Amino acid sequence: MTDATEIRRAVPSDIAGAARLAAELVRLHHRTDAARFYLPERLEEGYSGWLSRELTKSSTVILIAARNSEIVGYAYGRLEERDYMVLLDRHGAFHDLFVTETARQTGIGRRLARAMLEQLEALGAPRIVLSTMAQNEPAQRLFTSLGFRPTMLEMTRERSG
């Protein structure tokens, strides 16, 4: 099944499909912890606009996994310059990775992630940094197997009363 799935750079006609998956990723975060991850309005529309603009930048990588003409996976990353606030020198930021539920556990997530690492490194990223929700063990297992190490732990506290 995996063999029929192509991993490639997104083109403008892929953006609406990629935006649907990006919106699903946001909803997953909100379902997991609604207080920490707010739910923006008009998600698909907002992402379509954002990803269309990002697609024109040479420092951005948007990948899709396509099976027949259906988009079953999406990844988004970007080369970032030095950021004093988070003590990060120039790096690749791996922002989003999403595979549709019915296409999971067939190797597509790993192929998308590997392709993203290759492309960000080809752009000159000396290291790649990402965040996953603390509860997201499948993603952490995948990223650990690709050589990522835990480096930061975000903690959130709601106002009492």
Number of residues that bind ligand COA (CB under 6 A): 21
Query: Among residue numbers 122 through 161, which ones bind ligand COA (CB under 6 A)?
Result: 132, 136-139, 141-142, 145
What is the distance between the alpha carbons of residues 99 and 66, in angstroms, rounded to a whole number?
11
Q: For residues 8 and 113, is the Cβ–Cβ distance under 8 A?
A: no
The stretch among 9-17, 36-44, 50-58, 102-110 that binds ligand COA (CB under 6 A) is 102-110
Query: Among residue numbers 61 through 100, which ones bind ligand COA (CB under 6 A)?
Result: 96-99
Which residues make Cβ contacts (< 8 Å) with residue 7, sequence separation at least 6?
63, 64, 65, 73, 108, 111, 112, 115
Q: Tell which one of 105, 135, 156, 160 touches ligand COA (CB under 6 A).
A: 105
What is the distance between the alpha carbons of residues 21 and 9, in angstroms, rounded to a whole number?
15
Q: Is 18 in the site for ligand COA (CB under 6 A)?
A: no
Binding stretches for ligand COA (CB under 6 A) = 25, 28, 96-99, 104-110, 132, 136-139, 141-142, 145
